[in-house]
């Protein structure tokens, strides 16, 4: 679902800075470092992944950056390509994929040798792509409805080629996906795809046969334009958390988090809610983390109860085995130690 970011900020100088550590007021283990700043572009990252001591971000200026956590040096990986905003990123078999969300959906593929390829299809023309995910060589992409039907695509060859899912899913009026963090979709195994919708209707969808047939359930978020389910994360095939809320009124915490214990058939509201609107939920080592304009919260009991961790504005997150990495306004990435 295309929307105007609340974090649109113009920057004063083209400048890359090394990792100047800044201690958070709310957590002494937090470090903040800038990646890049622009004068002529509103640059922020809704897609992030980390691999082998490198952070990769997909950015609003259509660029992918690679940041070395050891040397604190960065590299722009697609200097010669002109793309609209990238809203998601993935690494599959050493190939990097960035998802373009805009007037027409596209993928940028970057090989291990740095060769760039733009992947586009006629069936992506005019489609706003919201998010993608991979499991082994299986990929899944979800896009906003066209002619009242959700735009759903899959790959069986690690992203090299894509096809339409056979199953047709009709969207209600005012129902779509939120491309806020690239986390409204997930591939649970080599044939099982899930995604969530928001807006006037908030639903959870699941297919176990590469998108040939679909089932769904309603997630009881508040509904309306810019309201509802923004992100979902399954820790296994039964337990998951969905978060969201009202991004225009981010301090409202009512009905901003739900959890399921039966694979998404039923959703229960959290007992103690999040601190407000959240755009991303992430799972690591027994802990669910959720971030948004209202800060970073965590849950140790599968999303039933939440507690604030740090304040701030965040879009999306990922982790390695030691740190959680969160993207934020002003083209920054914030690093915090994982809860033990």
Residue 334, Cβ density class (10 Å: 0-12 exposed, 13-18 middle, ≥19 buried) = buried
Does domain 91-106+120-337 fall under CATH 2.130.10.10? My reply is yes
2 vs 262: CA distance, rounded Å: 31
User: Which pLDDT score, from 0 to 100, does residue 33 have?
Assistant: 63
User: Which pLDDT score, from 0 to 100, does residue 332 have?
Assistant: 85
Can you read off the two tokens belonging to residue 148?
């009242």
User: Which pLDDT score, from 0 to 100, does residue 154 have?
Assistant: 98
| Mean pLDDT, each 10-residue run in order, the chain (340 residues) | 35 26 43 58 86 94 92 90 96 98 96 97 97 98 98 98 98 97 97 98 98 98 96 97 95 94 97 92 98 95 96 95 92 89
pTM score? 0.90
> Cα-Cα-Cα-Cα dihedral of 79, 80, 84, 86, to 10°?
-40
User: Which pLDDT score, from 0 to 100, does residue 326 have?
Assistant: 95
The order of strands in the sheet holding 163-164 is: 129-135, 138-146, 149-155, 163-164
How many other CB atoms are found less than 10 A from the CB of residue 306? Answer: 26
User: Which pLDDT score, from 0 to 100, does residue 184 have?
Assistant: 98
> DSSP letter at 172?
P
User: Which pLDDT score, from 0 to 100, does residue 92 have?
Assistant: 98
Report domain extents, the chain: 91-106+120-337
Q: What is the DSSP string of 43-91?
A: --EEEEEEETTEEEEEETTS-EEEEETTT--EEES-TT---S-EEEEEE
User: Which pLDDT score, from 0 to 100, does residue 8 have?
Assistant: 29
User: Which pLDDT score, from 0 to 100, does residue 23 have?
Assistant: 37
User: Which pLDDT score, from 0 to 100, does residue 26 have?
Assistant: 43
């Amino acid at each position: 679902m295309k929307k105007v970011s609340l974090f649109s900020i113009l920057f004063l100088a083209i400048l890359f800075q090394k990792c100047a550590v800044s201690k958070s007021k709310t957590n002494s283990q937090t470090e903040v470092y800038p990646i890049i700043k622009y004068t002529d572009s509103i640059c922020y990252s809704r897609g992030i992944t980390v691999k082998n001591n490198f952070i990769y971000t997909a950015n609003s200026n259509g660029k992918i950056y690679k940041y070395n956590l050891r040397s604190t040096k960065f590299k722009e990986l697609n200097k010669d390509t002109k793309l609209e905003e990238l809203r998601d990123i993935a690494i599959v078999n050493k190939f990097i994929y960035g998802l373009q969300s805009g007037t027409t959906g596209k993928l940028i593929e970057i090989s291990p040798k740095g060769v760039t390829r733009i992947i586009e299809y006629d069936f992506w023309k005019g489609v706003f792509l919201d998010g993608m995910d991979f499991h082994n060589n299986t990929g899944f992409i979800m896009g906003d409805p066209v002619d009242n039907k959700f735009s759903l695509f899959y790959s069986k060859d690690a992203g090299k080629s894509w096809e339409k899912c056979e199953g047709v899913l009709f969207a209600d009026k005012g129902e779509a996906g939120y491309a806020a963090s690239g986390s409204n979709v997930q591939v649970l195994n080599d044939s099982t795809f899930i995604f969530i919708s928001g807006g006037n209707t908030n639903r959870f969808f699941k297919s176990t046969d590469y998108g040939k047939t679909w089932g769904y359930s309603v997630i009881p978020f508040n509904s309306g334009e810019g309201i509802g389910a923004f992100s979902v994360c399954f820790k296994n095939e039964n337990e998951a958390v969905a978060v969201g809320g009202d991004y225009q009124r981010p301090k409202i915490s009512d009905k901003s988090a739900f959890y399921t214990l039966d694979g998404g058939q039923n959703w229960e509201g959290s007992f103690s809610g999040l601190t407000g609107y959240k755009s991303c939920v992430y799972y690591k080592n027994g802990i669910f983390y959720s971030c948004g304009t209202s800060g970073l919260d965590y849950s140790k009991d599968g999303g039933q109860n939440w507690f604030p961790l740090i304040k701030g504005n965040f879009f999306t997150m990922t982790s390695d085995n030691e740190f959680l990495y969160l993207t934020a306004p002003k083209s920054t990435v914030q690093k915090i130690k994982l809860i033990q």
